[in-house]
Amino acid sequence: MTFSLCMIVKNEAEILRRCLDPIRDLMDEIIIVDTGSTDDTKKIAKEYTDKVYDFEWNDDFSAARNYAFSFATCDYIYSADADEVIDEKNVERFRQLKEALLPEVEIVQMYYTNQLEANTTYNYDRELRPKLYKRLRTPLWEDPLHEAVRIKPVIFDSNVEIKHCPVSVHSGRDFSIFRKIIKKDGDISNHLARMYARELFISGSDEDFLEAKDFFRRRMDKDSEEELVLMAACVVIKCARLLDDTSLMLLASSRALASEHTPSEAVFELGEYYRGRRNYKEACMWYYNAAFETEPLLNLKYHDSYPYLGLHISYVIMGDRENAARFANYAKDLR
């Protein structure tokens, strides 16, 4: 099979060679779409391919990726990002995959790793992601009777591992795009709502939360899916604490606590709320609940390091040295 590598880039001069050098010999063509670089990204890209194109950035990653895909001519398209790294062991796995790939496979998944260290919007360090796509899919009828066209793609889970190694955080850019879409369309998809909430709890500032308050307040009432309601409630609870809005805190926390799957983020924020009121005993109860009696929905740290530090600080203030030391040690044991 032949492979087209397609990627979109912007100001990736620092890391583009790191991404392309290991895999350039695996690709039959390389297509790079630049979305407005002001550094040497395009110059470096032309060292690897003469198929370098410009795309006028419009805050739409899908449009840019579709534009890159439109130039592909090979059997399969490999979608890469400049902050990805494939080591020698996995380059060999990739080579073996290329040699053995069967034409009926339409999507190949690869392991995306290093997620937690990279401070991304995911609560796991290693996950399968679709990375290689058959460029042209042939519709096929199935079953000898009551025949129907196969809808689900044939997916193969490979053993190739890709390290995600970003050198900067893009949350500011992402929050701006989220707000722009909401202002234009009034809403965003459920998928984007989940990503917005996750990104807030991983890298959002207090100002980012407050700018998202009205949107998630509406979603908290609108959504029927429990997970989306809980995510929205977590955002609103934190906003209520930041605004010292007791009425809003009561409303949002009631939504979260009524669920059998109350998130750690919600009860941690209640701990923060009571610590801000110097009710340290009550704060400790909620911090303990976050660490030991609930599960995180948006950010793993709300289940361990954050409540451990909250417990440590509260016990220090209350003069309980034994418990203060205990939770300080819990926090130290984490990476």
Same domain, 10 and 144: yes
Local confidence band at 139 (pLDDT 50, 70, 90 cut-offs): confident
Average pLDDT over residues 275-282: 96
Considering only residues 109 and 142, tell me which one the structure prediction assigns the higher pLDDT: 109
- 145 pLDDT more than 90: no
Distance CA 78, CA 315 (A): 53
Q: Which of 164, 196, 215 is the last residue of a domain?
A: 164
- Containing 29, the helix (H) or strand (E) segment is strand 29-34
pLDDT band at residue 147 under the 50/70/90 scheme: confident
- Chain position carrying tokens 């534009």: 67
The model's confidence at residue 9, banded by pLDDT at 50, 70 and 90, is: very high
Confidence label for 166 from pLDDT (cuts 50, 70 and 90): confident
* pLDDT at residue 25 is higher than 90: yes
pLDDT computed for residue 256 by the predictor? 96
- Co-location of 187 and 99 in the same domain: no
- Domain with 96 in it: 3-164
What six digits make up the tokens of 282?
Answer: 């009550």
Q: Which pLDDT belongs to residue 122?
A: 57
Averaged pLDDT score across all residues of the chain: 92
Residue 221: both structure tokens together: 């009432």
Quick one: average pLDDT of 150-164? 93
158 shares a domain with 21: yes
How many CB atoms within 10 Å of residue 294? 21
Judged against a pLDDT cut of 90, whether residue 106 lies above it is answered with yes
pTM: 0.80
Confidence check: pLDDT of 170 > 80: no
Shared domain for 155 and 215, answered yes or no, is no
Q: In this structure, are 225 and 256 located in the same domain?
A: yes
For 47-104, write each residue's pLDDT tens digit: 999 999 999 999 899 999 999 999 999 999 999 999 999 999 999 999 999 999 999 9
Do 82 and 224 share a domain, yes or no? no
Same domain, 191 and 154: no
Same domain, 116 and 233: no
Least confident range from 13-27, 89-103, 117-131, 212-226: namely 117-131
Q: How many domains does the chain have?
A: 2
Model confidence band, residue 164 (pLDDT cutoffs 50, 70, 90): confident
Whether 213 has a pLDDT exceeding 80, the answer reads: yes
* The pLDDT value given to residue 114: 75
- 64-73, 140-149, 194-203, 234-243: range with lowest mean pLDDT: 140-149
Q: How far is CA 123 from the centre of its chain?
A: 8
| pLDDT of amino acid 21 | 97
Indicate if 58 and 193 belong to the same structural domain. Answer: no
**Which of 133, 164, 195 marks a domain boundary?**
164
pLDDT score of 116: 60
What digits encode the pLDDT tens for the residues 292-310? Answer: 999 999 998 999 999 999 9
Using a 10 angstrom Cβ sphere, with 0-12 exposed, 13-18 middle and 19 or more buried, the burial of residue 141 is exposed
Task: Give the three-class secondary structure for 257.
Answer: helix
Q: How confident is the model at residue 142 (pLDDT cuts 50, 70, 90)?
A: confident
Q: What is the pLDDT of residue 167?
A: 76
Task: Give the domain-ending residue among 164, 179, 213.
Answer: 164
pLDDT, mean of residues 100-115: 91
Judgement on whether residues 189 and 153 belong to the same structural domain of the protein = no
Q: What is the mean pLDDT of residues 135-140?
A: 88
Contact assessment for residue 97 and residue 31, using Cβ atoms and an 8 Å cutoff? no
CATH number at residue 88: 3.90.550.10
Contact 28, 3 (CB under 8 A): yes
Q: What CATH number is given to the structural domain containing 321?
A: 1.25.40.10
Residue 209 reports pLDDT greater than 60: yes
Asked if 135 and 178 sit in the same domain, the reply is no
Q: Are residues 48 and 85 in the same domain?
A: yes
CA 216/CA 179 separation, integer angstroms: 12
